[in-house]
Chains A and B, each alone.
Chain A
Amino acid sequence: MEFKRFWKLYRKNRAAVIGLILTIFFLVMAIFAPFIAPQDPNTGKLTERLSPPFWMEGGSRRHLFGTDSLGRDILSRVIYGSRISILIGVVVVSVATITGVMIGLVSGYFGGKVDAIIQRIVDTLLAFPYLIFALAIMSVLGPGLKNIILALVYKEWVTPCRVIRGDTLVAKEENYVEAARAMGASNWHILIRSLLPNVMASVIVVASLRIGWVVLMEASLSFLGLGVQPPTATWGGMVAGGRDYIFQSWWITAFPGIAIFLLVMGVNLMGEGLRDAFDPKLTRGKK
Chain B
Amino acid sequence: MTFSYIVRRILQTLPVLIGITFIVFLIMHLTPGDPVEIMMGRGSVVTTEQIEQIRHELGLDRPLYIQYFSFLGGVLHGDFGRSILQRAPVMHLIADRLPATFELTIFSIIISLIIAIPVGVISSVKRYSLLDHIGTVSALAGVSMPSFWLGLLLIIVFSVKLKILPVTGRANYGYGLAPITNFLLIDAVITGNWGALGDAIRHLLLPAITLGSYMAALTMRVTRSSMLEVLSRDYIRTALAKGLSHKVVILKHAMRNALVPTVTVVTLNIGILLGGNMIVESVFGWPGLGRLVINAVYTRDYPLVQGVVLIYALTYVVMNFIADLLYAALNPKVRF
A touches B in complex, CB < 8 A = yes
Q: Which of B15-23, B59-67, B172-180, B204-212 contacts A (4 or more CB under 8 A)?
A: B15-23
Within the assembled complex, what's the spacing in Å between the Cα atoms of A185 and B153? 59
Within the assembled complex, what's the spacing in Å between the Cα atoms of A243 and B155? 12
Interface, chain A (partner B; CB < 8 A): 120-121, 123-124, 126-132, 135-137, 139-140, 142, 212, 216, 219-220, 223-224, 236, 239-240, 243, 246-247, 250, 253, 257, 260-262, 264-265, 268-269, 286-287
Give chain A's interface secondary structure class. helix
B residues 10-31 near A (Cβ < 8 Å) are: 13, 15-17, 19-20, 23-24, 27-28, 30-31
A139 touching B31, Cβ below 8 Å: yes
Contact of A132 among B30, B264, B282, B293 (CB under 8 A): B293
- Is B68 an interface residue when CB atoms closer than 8 A count as contact? no
Neighbouring B residues of A212 by C-beta, 8 Å: 143-144
Neighbouring B residues of A216 by C-beta, 8 Å: 144, 146
Within the assembled complex, what's the spacing in Å between the Cα atoms of A250 and B157? 11
B148 touching A136, Cβ below 8 Å: no
Neighbouring A residues of B156 by C-beta, 8 Å: 246-247, 250
Contact of B275 among A130, A139, A140, A262 (CB under 8 A): A130
Contact of A136 among B24, B276, B317 (CB under 8 A): B24
Q: Which of B148, B275, B278 has the most CB of A within 10 A?
A: B148
Closest to B274 in A: A129
B148 touching A223, Cβ below 8 Å: yes
Neighbouring B residues of A132 by C-beta, 8 Å: 275, 278, 293, 297, 309, 312
Neighbouring B residues of A130 by C-beta, 8 Å: 271-272, 275
Neighbouring B residues of A142 by C-beta, 8 Å: 32
Neighbouring A residues of B16 by C-beta, 8 Å: 120, 123-124, 127
Per-position contact with A for B275-296: 1 when CB-CB < 8 Å, else 0? 1111100100000000001100
A268 touching B143, Cβ below 8 Å: yes
Q: How far is the CB of A239 from chain B (nearest CB, A)?
A: 6
Contact of B20 among A128, A137, A250 (CB under 8 A): A128
- Is B112 an interface residue when CB atoms closer than 8 A count as contact? no
